Amino acid sequence: MTPFGYRRAQSIDEALRLGLTPGAHFLGGGTNLIDLAKGGVVQPMLLIDVSRLPLADVTATADGGARIGAMARNSDVANHPLIRTRYPLLSQALLAGASPQLRNMATVGGNLLQRTRCPYFYDTGFEHCNKRAPGSGCGAVGGINRNHAILGASAACIATHPSDMCVALAALRAQVHVRGPRGERAIAMADFHRLPGDTPQRDTTLAAGELILGVDLPPDGFAGHAHYLKVRDRASYAFALVSVAAALDVRGGVIRDAALALGGVAHKPWRRPEAEARLVGHEPSDAAFGEAADLLLQGARPASQNGFKLTLARRAIVRALQTAGAQA
């Protein structure tokens, strides 16, 4: 492990000032970053501990939505009464992730910045990984790629985004609030994570030195009909092969609005508004759910070992929508 400096930020302004230091990384719960640093995958020069900043609250907002502070722990958010009752999709997704110990430690800001679990990325003894060493090639293309992307991948990288929380946030159309050297801005979840293209080393659209302050949820939490379905190789403490965040607003037997996003299939939570629009105005039915699934998966291109994900994803989408739609 390369030696690094450590500073505990006493204020957001101090964190932002320190964040301009070359090689600086913000440290929340450390459940991913410390592993990466220990393995030499990232080599921080300075860790800026932001975990004690006053950004851990979950509060109702004036517009009827909710704000979740970036330093709120995953367990606290999942079990918060406001989230459990108004945004059950998010609560379910958080509880599907990692283990209780990790959820107690991990922060919402850190979860947004989780790196891929591609094994070639974590193995520094392996030469070819464009995400870790830009320009070195991709070991997963033509290598072990059972867990990799079937949508939105590039020749440079076929990694998947690992978070469950982010899939629910994408479906719920959350916004990420950040502050940096150029001030404060809000980024739609759909635009926060990137597809790999030619620059897979960049996971997000955060600019240099920007600190995540929190996440805003809109007033409509789809509380009545929401289901997070995670399909994985074992029942707990495993990343998704495919996951589905599905929620419906059903009134009078007709779908008035729909929220749908996939995890485990792309470099970012995968959402396509056309798939949601296909459901609106229709009665919940297997036919409508299947058509929405086909739209969401349009353009899928499996790698050599993960063709099964296409069938799995279609079935998971339909099942998640059936479960959400069947709720009272």
**Under the rule (CB under 6 A), what is the footprint of ligand SF4?**
116, 118, 120-121, 129-131, 138-140, 157-159, 200
Chain-centre distance for alpha carbon 226: 17
- Cβ atoms of 208 and 275 closer than 8 Å: no
* In the complex, minimum distance from the CB of residue 136 to ligand SF4, in angstroms, rounded to a whole number: 8
Our CA angle for 150, 152, 156, nearest 5°, is 95
Half-sphere exposure of 95 (CA within 13 A, CB side): 15
CA 15 vs CA 69, 136, 195, 212, 253: distances in Å = 16, 33, 28, 11, 50
Rank residues 260 and 262 by Cβ distance to ligand SF4 and give the closer one: 262
* In the complex, minimum distance from the CB of residue 242 to ligand SF4, in angstroms, rounded to a whole number: 17
* In the complex, minimum distance from the CB of residue 325 to ligand SF4, in angstroms, rounded to a whole number: 35
* In the complex, minimum distance from the CB of residue 199 to ligand SF4, in angstroms, rounded to a whole number: 11
Q: Residue 58 forms beta bridges with which residues?
A: 68
Rank residues 156 and 167 by Cβ distance to ligand SF4 and give the closer one: 156
Rank residues 200 and 263 by Cβ distance to ligand SF4 and give the closer one: 200
Rank residues 158 and 292 by Cβ distance to ligand SF4 and give the closer one: 158
Dist. CA 139–CA 87, nearest whole Å: 39
Cβ-in-10-Å burial (0-12, 13-18, 19+) of 13 comes to exposed
Half-sphere exposure of 254 (CA within 13 A, CB side): 6
* In the complex, minimum distance from the CB of residue 132 to ligand SF4, in angstroms, rounded to a whole number: 6
Q: Positive or negative, the Cα torsion across 166, 169, 174, 179?
A: negative
Rank residues 131 and 230 by Cβ distance to ligand SF4 and give the closer one: 131
* In the complex, minimum distance from the CB of residue 6 to ligand SF4, in angstroms, rounded to a whole number: 28
* In the complex, minimum distance from the CB of residue 125 to ligand SF4, in angstroms, rounded to a whole number: 13
Rank residues 24 and 118 by Cβ distance to ligand SF4 and give the closer one: 118
- Cβ atoms of 57 and 80 closer than 8 Å: no
Query: Any idea what DSSP says for residue 129?
Result: B
Rank residues 107 and 130 by Cβ distance to ligand SF4 and give the closer one: 130
